[in-house]
Amino acid sequence: KAGVTQTPRYLIKTRGQQVTLSCSPISGHRSVSWYQQTPGQGLQFLFEYFSETQRNKGNFPGRFSGRQFSNSRSEMNVSTLELGDSALYLCASAGTQGSDTQYFGPGTRLTVL
Amino acid sequence: AQSVTQLGSHVSVSEGALVLLRCNYSSSVPPYLFWYVQYPNQGLQLLLKYTSAATLVKGINGFEAEFKKSETSFHLTKPSAHMSDAAEYFCAVSDTNDMRFGAGTRLTVKP
């Protein structure tokens, strides 16, 4: 089985712009979670989608949003980018919601200038 | 609410020495516990997972972890460190709602 894929792998944006990141889960997986990883804050949970519905949400501002499509692919959008949004964004897929093992993609490295 | 504490943000060992990375958790329900490894500029890779079937869990690359309910611990060990083990290691706890990660422990292996 192919693993979790994330596109693009690297992205450079300027403050005020918006960005959309994409995640394709492992075939058959219905849960997709997003995390932000920074040196200062570590791994922080953004949100989880299961069967096109947002099930859980972390403590991030409304500028961060996401969605999941019927084929389980997920997108994450960040509007009005700030310098502090520079991070590695990781996507993880799981067969079921919640406690099942999460399998991570390689991440998207976002740099905001 | 569940949480994870990893003791020691940096651990340094010599090649061939024992690796011990500490993780303590709190959870109001019997937890699922995980160890993940992250190499530079990569995503997280699952090392092992505890699901109550056995308290000693064997993972990939020679790592294992022991679940100790009385100590609420799930420490990761490897008898003999290899240079390729240098990476960041994350402990995670999950209940039926979400997964929480520890802050990570960076392992350095000295030749």
Residue range A32-65, pLDDT digits in tens: 999 999 988 889 999 999 999 998 888 899 999 9
pLDDT at residue B94, as a whole number = 83
Q: What Å distances lie between residue A112 and A45, A80, B42, CA to CA?
A: 20, 11, 20
Please state, as a whole number, how many other Cβ atoms lie within 10 Å of the Cβ of residue A65. Answer: 17
Residue range B27-83, pLDDT digits in tens: 777 788 999 999 988 899 999 999 877 889 999 999 999 999 889 999 999 999 999
pLDDT at residue B51, as a whole number = 82
- State chain A's mean pLDDT as an integer: 92
What is the CA B68 to chain-centroid distance, rounded? Answer: 13
Task: Search chain A and give the residue with CA nearest B95.
Answer: A99
pLDDT at residue A96, as a whole number = 66
pLDDT at residue B52, as a whole number = 77
Can you tell me whether residue A25 is helix, strand or coil?
coil
A→B interface, C-beta within 8 Å: 4, 6, 33, 35, 42-43, 45, 48, 56, 90, 92, 98-99, 101-107, 109
Residue range A58-90, pLDDT digits in tens: 889 999 999 999 999 999 999 999 999 999 999
Distance CA B18, CA B22 (A): 13
A5 or B100, higher pLDDT: A5
What confidence tier does A19 reach under pLDDT thresholds 50, 70, 90?
very high
What confidence tier does B97 reach under pLDDT thresholds 50, 70, 90?
low
Residue percentage of chain A with pLDDT more than 90: 79
Q: Taking a C-beta distance cutoff of 8 angstroms, is the pair A93, A2 a contact?
A: no
pLDDT at residue B27, as a whole number = 78
Q: Name every chain B residue with its beta carbon within 8 A of the beta carbon of A48.
A: 98
pLDDT at residue A11, as a whole number = 96
- Which residues on adjacent β-strands are paired with residue B92? B34, B101
Distance CA B12, CA B18 (A): 10
